[in-house]
Structure 1
Amino acid sequence: MLKWKKDYLTGEGIEDPEKIKNKLDAGKYVHGIYLLTLSDNPSNLFEIIPAAMLLQKSYYRICPEIIGMAKGKDEALEMVCSLVQETYVQR
């Protein structure tokens, strides 16, 4: 089972996030979904992972905690940009 942040973010293009989450937890393929995680690499802040990567059992087991999901790569990039901007504005 994947690790999900309690209040994970969802992009505007996501119509039924719980349904998608359940499919991903079951190891099923979900087309066009990208997941946001905090990076394990200290040089990076976030990672954008295509949900299709989770079909690889080895990657499924080591997937870091998911903090958001987006429909399409462009929406995922927009979410990351807004997270970074919010962080800098709050400081």
Structure 2
Amino acid sequence: MLKWIRNYYVGEDVKNPGRARARIIVGKFVPGVYVVTLSDNPGNVLEILSTAELMQRTVRMICPPVVGIANGREGAIRMVQEIVEEVFRETGDLKIREYLENR
């Protein structure tokens, strides 16, 4: 089961984000939509996954918490950049995981 942070980010160009989230939760493919997640890898902070990857039950089961959904890979990359900038602007630090978990 996918975990979502409270107040997750939604890309500006995601059409009908509620429907997209519902489809992602049940394991359906949402064309062109990517999710940004916290990373389980200590060397990374955030990861970008396609909804095609989330169709696999095992991936959904071990997927770290979702912090945002975006339209297209480029949109997901922009979202990661915006998250990092927001965290630095608000805290003066780059403790992204702590910021997102307590947001």
TM category, shorter: over 0.9
Unaligned runs of 5+ in 2: 93-103
SS in 2 for 1:29: coil
SS in 2 for 1:34: strand
Q: How does 1:54-69 map to 2 (within 5 A)?
A: 54-69=54-69
Distance, in Å, in 2 between the alignment partners of 1:30 and 1:48 is: 15
- When the two structures are superposed, what TM-score results if normalisation uses the length of structure 1? 0.93
- When the two structures are superposed, what TM-score results if normalisation uses the length of structure 2? 0.83
SS in 2 for 1:73: helix
Unaligned runs of 5+ in 1: none
Give the aligned partner of residue 99 of structure 2.
none
Q: Supply the AA of the counterpart residue of 1:26.
A: V
Distance, in Å, in 2 between the alignment partners of 1:62 and 1:74 is: 24
Give the aligned partner of residue 72 of structure 1.
72
RMSD: 1.0
Q: How does 1:1-91 map to 2 (within 5 A)?
A: 1-90=1-90, 91=92
